[in-house]
Structure 1
């Protein structure tokens, strides 16, 4: 497969010839004080043919990049709200790869000017995909819902976010990895207001700059940090109703005063939902156990995000951002367990387990970032230090009622305490060298300390005693030290980037109660990275570019996967870690194609060795009892391809549609017997928008998955379709959105597993069908951007040179 991908890529690249010498030209817009102007629109028109138009927006350095034909003459049109427009004539020459222009403030037009540059919903930037969340945020109540609605992302019922079909993605916030459990990250995303997100970066094959642990890719959530002009803000509130209801209210403020910028986000929400799981497991030739668990999740969440940035001078910039979150996460579960004979249908046992959790957790996230601009070409030195603290305390009350055969109820209480501290320090240098060479290098150190204290007590009648089968106490420390270097260079139509990352991992786990199961792990690994891109042709005036990416990554087992102490779930199920678990390594190869930086097609393969998987074994002495653990089962080959397309706006309508196919091939050992497992799965996703008039929009988004897979569980077909209508009032300051999520209630599935001695099937659903109403009122000065065109197609023909 590797050879096929490489051969196909180079055959495709070299089958196209370029007939004109194209120069990369950068245009920088600044204020009089040399501060960059971000988000300005630049249009370049060929003087010889005015129908040939290029357009782009400036980045955080105030720079927009274009490919122009050598020695041809162009007109530049630059506009940004609050500034006088610039009209200049230029000639593309090799002597001036960077052109600088100063924009003058136009105070008289601050209240009237509207910039209508089209901001794409999805675009490709080198080896990452950028998603503009604004159209989705307007119909969502939290950042978690935004993740669920982004085309191409899949959020499972446990809160894991997938880019492919086998391994969850690593979640970053503001470029910092969140070293937390899936449930904790989901809680943070649910507490974030939806309009606090500036953009979402999707890196399916991250470069050497990123941690090597992201074998499932990286999803980086970038939060808004203020705007360049004046005070802006919004007040939002909303509610949605399924079987249970959710409500939220939030405030967002952004301010800029000269060199000082600041922001504040406040959000409060009350949430409730349910989940129902039915499972039937056959544990002998004539007996099976049926379990029906119904759980509700009421809770309250409060969030405060704040930050400040200051430009010390033309070179130095300092930023601080912090987040405080408080979550009251409660749950009430009712689980009925029945064992019966298959031949006679006789019920042998019938037990009802009830569990009530009352959890309170809070998190503190703080980060300081310093940036030094080495030169005007984009060379910079950045340093980032972050501190995160997370405290979770849960009180549990449980009871088991023995219906058949009748017996005295067994009950008890539990106190669960988790404390997690995570500190990271990172410094990176990017330097623009002559001959179109960019050098990047950096160092990173992370430290994580996790402490758990769990005390359980059982009560039979009036007798109470400590339950050692559930009581546990452990400490876990982890430190990772990393260094990387990568270099990129342009060779005519080619861009080549190569790099490598060195990581030293140290794990120290100490199980104190009930037994000592301490362990230490120390290892050093090297992770190479290669990226190659080439402009191959222009079709109907649009640039077609091909990419080839290779990366090696690691997935490390967390402490819960390694800790061998048993953890009681119910009288028929417990879980335990595996201290001999080895890390899994993945080699990823991907070739993809984009048009005007908009991804349209990708094909690739992941080779994973020592894959560790969540498996279920039956107790050999009592097969009615099963336990969950993790094992290195062997190797897996995942082949996938992805297709994304869009229809440009026809009058007032457009849509984006995509599909992804994943085929997994497992080979290894399971219960000391050969294991071979193959399965292919299709995922389809789409986003539609219809502009009824200037102030009314109708949008539709959703996904559908055929023959889904989760580890060794085979899933039935399922999907999700969301319908939204929003209308603006009061000079477009008030936006009212009516939404319906999971319109046909199809986001539920049946599952089966038949591996080794385990034969089980079941059904899972949650409170996903909801009707909601959201209100958002914008105040102050705000830059307005048209983001209704997902792939940023222009109605004018692009230059064919």
Structure 2
């Protein structure tokens, strides 16, 4: 009996020491020496032998909660860069362990020494997107948003828009918000955004159902800068560039952030003198024989002042919610001075006439965009709810004057045409997203969005004869456009073992109306489309990743492409919209492979019906040419893309992107059968090197051989950009010197030989620019709160 009782007693006494665990809730609040709550503090539970159990981070109120199994000897470690570590034992006989308020003391030695010096790589690969960290690029110095996009992997700027991997139809967003602008207006807007205000570019080839279905080639998101450090800080920058003409840029940014509030302000000014010298040889035929040739030389310079202001705030309400608002304004004034000469040759190439056109154009643009948002996170990382309301207005006010002097068979005459241009576009968007997380069923997302667009374009042209002005009713017109798109989506994502699955379905209801006032052109369209998406990823080992993406997407013609109003370049050349355009539908498929994050392969196929294609429409009888968009029956694309990232020597990174693609265009253009097929490739190289004492350099290259797109062939284009940087003033200042397109070979040139069109062109632009810049960061850049993954990155990934 005594022996049995002794054994039982010994076992009872040993229970606390033999590792029997219990599930408890551990709660607490972290504050600093001034009783202010500390956010993003790592709270990590360990066993007695320091084996990781579970971890989390504190919220905006400095509070944390961990549901974890503990046993005898378990403890919690609290750590944040800039503070001394804190440890607490977790012995308890209850189901809740309340640690109360825990004060973390400043690690003064660390605060004196630790500053934010880590840099992200120039180009990052994520599972669903490619990220270009513009703020870390030396060659971004003195550039604008459009030039930054042109240097990004896979992106190419063309006169009719932006292409991604050889395909047009890119949905361009700024801070996640779609820009409902025409191609030319978008280019002008991007040219007004200085590179100093751009944090990064996100390139998404196959977006999920949570994104708008707009953008048959993918989505490009431009993220503007916003500092995340606590305290007050900011930066100033200035640059001077010299090409054919000079350009300047100046900017100021201010940020203030505490545990509940974040405020930011950005002010920038750009001055650019956009230069273009266009040489065109255009041939007109009758009965298959060339009867006239127009040899044209047009030179323009457009001095442009652009101003950008961005102000916003975020405020934490409650434990897990925050509200925010921001306002962005952009205004610019451009004064274009252009003169062109055209020599008219007969069928024997002898001069038979000529005309010159002097153009004076002034355009004032004002854009205003406002956003209000609300976000709340559910308890225990169960998901979140996000609501956004956006309003934007884009206004254009301009005037033009064309003075044309004509010489025909020895007779001379002068024609004067003036025009007033007014345009307004208003946009209102409501968007709500609900994201639910469950460890067993994965992530389930629901969302809805409604957008409303109205546009009013008014062009009034006048003929001036002997000083007398009379309205030109043939060219004058007013066009009104309304658009409403309502969308809803569901998206499911699950990661299990070595597989990731994602399925989505989005439906969009589109209603548009267009009407030319005092004209006979109007249209009304109403349709519903479904857009499914599929993403599969398999990672058999840490170094090998395989993926499959499939999606259906749409590219709607914008209001300017539908607008039948004619815009003149000179008396023989114009641009005109096409109200008969219908949306193009793309079915995309992509296979991807990644090896150890340095080697990428992707094989892409896309079939697009009703492809929207820019073409030249030539009137041989009246000797005139117009640029217009048309729908063709089919467009097929096959692409192979390879990216290789190497570190050949210490402190050097070299990335090479190779794009191989095959295009097939099938349809009818202006009564002529179109069956154009051809392959092409592009090579891009990005190289960075740091050689100590604050010095670093960047060297980029691009090459594209002869390239066929639709009815036009483009001659080879290539360029080399180089830049060098020196850190000064205790690494708070940076001096950069950059030269882009050193050999001046990046301007487009080519020819069109299709149907009755036979034309050569060369457009010499100001692509070779040398730029010197200086930037300086001031205020708090010492790390006091760890706002990134921190020391518990791996622990949090397993939480």
The TM-score bracket by the shorter chain reads 0.7 to 0.9
* Alpha-carbon separation, structure 1, partners of 2:742 and 2:600: 28
Kindly indicate whether residue 270 of structure 2 is the aligned counterpart of residue 269 of structure 1.
Answer: yes
Residue 242 of structure 1 and its aligned partner are, at CA, apart by: 0.4
| Structure 1 runs not aligned, ≥5 long | 1-27, 49-56, 63-74, 90-101, 786-801
Q: Any residues of structure 2 matched to 1:123-134 within 5 Å, and which?
A: 123-134=124-135
* Alpha-carbon separation, structure 2, partners of 1:369 and 1:185: 25
Residue 77 of structure 1 and its aligned partner are, at CA, apart by: 11
Cα–Cα, structure 1 residues 775 and 116, in superposed 2: closer, same or farther, change >3 Å?
closer
After the TM superposition, which of the residue ranges 375-384 and 417-426 deviates more from structure 2?
375-384
Kindly indicate whether residue 526 of structure 2 is the aligned counterpart of residue 522 of structure 1.
Answer: yes
Root mean square deviation of aligned Cα: 3.3
Q: Which position in structure 2 is the counterpart of 1:424?
A: 429
* Alpha-carbon separation, structure 2, partners of 1:455 and 1:756: 34
After the TM superposition, which of the residue ranges 358-367 and 186-195 deviates more from structure 2?
186-195
- Is contact 1:322-1:367 (8 Å) kept? yes
Kindly indicate whether residue 471 of structure 2 is the aligned counterpart of residue 474 of structure 1.
Answer: no
Kindly indicate whether residue 228 of structure 2 is the aligned counterpart of residue 227 of structure 1.
Answer: yes
**TM norm structure 2:** 0.84
* Alpha-carbon separation, structure 2, partners of 1:773 and 1:29: 52
Deviations 1:153-174, CA, capped at 9 Å, x for gaps = 4342548332221314211111
Residue 710 of structure 1 and its aligned partner are, at CA, apart by: 4.4
- Is contact 1:279-1:763 (8 Å) kept? yes
* Alpha-carbon separation, structure 2, partners of 1:256 and 1:379: 25
Q: Which position in structure 1 is the counterpart of 2:589?
A: 589
- Is contact 2:139-2:722 (8 Å) kept? no
Deviations 1:763-785, CA, capped at 9 Å, x for gaps = 11201101110000111122689
* Alpha-carbon separation, structure 2, partners of 1:194 and 1:652: 25
Q: Which position in structure 2 is the counterpart of 1:402?
A: 406
Q: Which position in structure 1 is the counterpart of 2:166?
A: 165
Kindly indicate whether residue 462 of structure 2 is the aligned counterpart of residue 457 of structure 1.
Answer: yes
Kindly indicate whether residue 1 of structure 2 is the aligned counterpart of residue 37 of structure 1.
Answer: no
Residue 361 of structure 1 and its aligned partner are, at CA, apart by: 1.1
Aligned length: 719
3-state SS of 1:495 partner: strand
After the TM superposition, which of the residue ranges 192-201 and 283-292 deviates more from structure 2?
192-201
3-state SS of 1:298 partner: strand
* Alpha-carbon separation, structure 1, partners of 2:533 and 2:592: 16
Residue 575 of structure 1 and its aligned partner are, at CA, apart by: 3.7
Residue 692 of structure 1 and its aligned partner are, at CA, apart by: 2.2
- Greater C-alpha Rg: 2
- Is contact 2:115-2:781 (8 Å) kept? no
3-state SS of 2:502 partner: strand
3-state SS of 1:110 partner: helix
Cα–Cα, structure 1 residues 215 and 34, in superposed 2: closer, same or farther, change >3 Å?
farther
Residue 227 of structure 1 and its aligned partner are, at CA, apart by: 1.4
* Alpha-carbon separation, structure 2, partners of 1:29 and 1:771: 56
Cα–Cα, structure 1 residues 436 and 118, in superposed 2: closer, same or farther, change >3 Å?
farther
Kindly indicate whether residue 374 of structure 2 is the aligned counterpart of residue 370 of structure 1.
Answer: yes
Residue 30 of structure 1 and its aligned partner are, at CA, apart by: 10
Residue 333 of structure 1 and its aligned partner are, at CA, apart by: 1.6
- Is contact 2:138-2:725 (8 Å) kept? no
Q: Which position in structure 2 is the counterpart of 1:359?
A: 363
| Structure 2 runs not aligned, ≥5 long | 1-26, 51-56, 63-74, 90-101, 785-799
3-state SS of 1:676 partner: strand
Residue 544 of structure 1 and its aligned partner are, at CA, apart by: 2.1
* Alpha-carbon separation, structure 2, partners of 1:678 and 1:30: 66
Cα–Cα, structure 1 residues 324 and 400, in superposed 2: closer, same or farther, change >3 Å?
same
Kindly indicate whether residue 560 of structure 2 is the aligned counterpart of residue 560 of structure 1.
Answer: yes
Q: Which position in structure 2 is the counterpart of 1:437?
A: 442
Residue 149 of structure 1 and its aligned partner are, at CA, apart by: 5.8
Q: Which of residues 526, 534, 538 in structure 2 aligns to 1:534? A: 538
Cα–Cα, structure 1 residues 145 and 749, in superposed 2: closer, same or farther, change >3 Å?
closer
- Is contact 1:707-1:717 (8 Å) kept? yes
Deviations 1:225-257, CA, capped at 9 Å, x for gaps = 331411111110011000100011110111112
* Alpha-carbon separation, structure 1, partners of 2:87 and 2:546: 33
Kindly indicate whether residue 298 of structure 2 is the aligned counterpart of residue 293 of structure 1.
Answer: yes
- Is contact 2:43-2:76 (8 Å) kept? no
Q: Which position in structure 1 is the counterpart of 2:244?
A: 243
Residue 461 of structure 1 and its aligned partner are, at CA, apart by: 1.9
Kindly indicate whether residue 497 of structure 2 is the aligned counterpart of residue 496 of structure 1.
Answer: no
- Is contact 2:721-2:738 (8 Å) kept? yes
Cα–Cα, structure 1 residues 328 and 31, in superposed 2: closer, same or farther, change >3 Å?
farther
3-state SS of 1:407 partner: strand
**TM norm structure 1:** 0.84
